[in-house]
Amino acid sequence: MRVAFYAPLKPPDHPVPSGDRRMARLLIQALGLAGHEVEIAARLRSWNARPDPARQARLERIGQAMAERLLRRYRARPAAARPRAWLTYHLYYKAPDWIGPHVAAGLGIPYLLAEASLAGKRANGPWARGHRATVAALERAAAVISLNPVDAECLPDPDRVRPIKPFLDAAPFRAAAAQRREARAATAAAHGLDPARPWLLAVAMMRPGDKLASYRLLGDALARLDGLGLDGLDWQLLVAGDGPARAEVEAAFDALAPDRVRFLGEMAPHDLPALAAACDLMVWPALNEAYGMALLEAQAAGLPVVAGHGGGVAAVVRDGETGRLTAPGDARAFAEAVRGLLEAPGTRRAMAEAAVAAVAAEHDLSAAAGRLDAVLRRATGP
């Protein structure tokens, strides 16, 4: 069936790399794999970085005008060429949907949401307009696809929640894992690294807020490793990412010896599987992370993970099986978890195998395609 798709936070073809964009594109890919035809209905970015009532009101007016134009365009098509369902991805008070509910109602088609969250504390005050729009969209939705179990706990009608585990196209990561030795040699040659040293990996945008806070906690934790004793292991950290907070991120690792950290800059998506497969351990505190696509990608490439146990991270990392989860914000516990796995290569190998198997069984694109298809067909009826 034809599905109209909208991501008010960030369009799927937005040029800035992010986990949101990757997941939006994966949803489209999964729907296509299930036999559905997806069209991006709108690219209006309704996101507000800070409460600005005038801007919110203007975006609402723009969204309503776009909805009317879309209705006219869809109604001018033959019935068979119109959308049979609308899917909005990543809805919350900072990025409300001013378009989808109106279009879905006008066409008489199901309105569906994926990865929606509700913050009751925003019901009053400067974010109230976005909150009300989110509540209205949730009330209109025939189904809410939940990728993060933490968000699902806050949704008003659990009967309409359809849980789907975070997912990715694991094929390129599996292929990279099968060529780990070659990937490691190529990475060493490209960046002047010693393949005999254990490599830690962090992959994240460098921007103010939670990302920068996570980098700072990671720098704090890694600075403690030598004090904890590592039986002479001479590790290195590879950092893939870039952004406006790069100077602050680099400063977060000033306490480490210069050759401990190698900043690789922004990596193209097709280069990430080989990079992950080449490394020994993924390390990311994941402060206020929804669940962390980079953590899922690392495991798909056979890389065990040390991460903070916050948000929905436990939905993608099995503590003690595919990695270690530590208390959010606890730099010492994070350092001890990293040390424990650096000193236990056998445990790392077992976790790597378990990670690949877990992703294949529960987080691969094909499994998600089947679940999304079932949600759509249930919402649209016979």
Max CA distance (Å), the chain: 71
pLDDT, tens digit (0-9, with 9 covering 90-100), for 291-339: 889 999 999 999 999 999 988 899 999 999 999 999 999 999 999 999 9
Q: Which of 279, 287, 97 is nearest to 176 (CA)?
A: 279
Domains and CATH numbers, the chain: 2-167+364-380 (3.40.50.2000), 171-363 (3.40.50.2000)
Closest CA to 325 of 335, 315, 337, 336: 337
> Which SS3 state, helix, strand or coil, does residue 177 take?
helix
Rounded Cα distance, 117 and 165, in Å: 16
Question: What pLDDT, on the 0 to 100 scale, is given for residue 2?
Answer: 97
With a cut of 50, list the residues of the chain below it in pLDDT: none
CA dihedral for 224, 344, 172, 176, sign (positive or negative): positive
**What are 34's two structure tokens?**
């299930």
Instruction: State the CB neighbour count (10 A cutoff) for residue 150.
Output: 16
Give the model's pLDDT for residue 286. Answer: 95
Residue 32 φ/ψ, nearest 5 degrees: -65, -40
Note the pLDDT of residue 230.
Answer: 66
- Which residues on neighbouring strands pair with residue 5, listed in sequence order? 40, 87
pLDDT at 257: 87
Spell out the residues 6+ positions from residue 37 whose beta carbon is closer than 8 angstroms to its own.
Answer: 1, 2, 3
How far is the C-alpha of 160 from the C-alpha of 234, rounded, in Å?
51
Contact assessment for residue 372 and residue 34, using Cβ atoms and an 8 Å cutoff = yes
State how far the Cα of 355 lies from the Cα of 358, in Å rounded to an integer.
5
Compute CA 269 distance to the chain's CA centroid, rounded to the nearest angstrom: 14
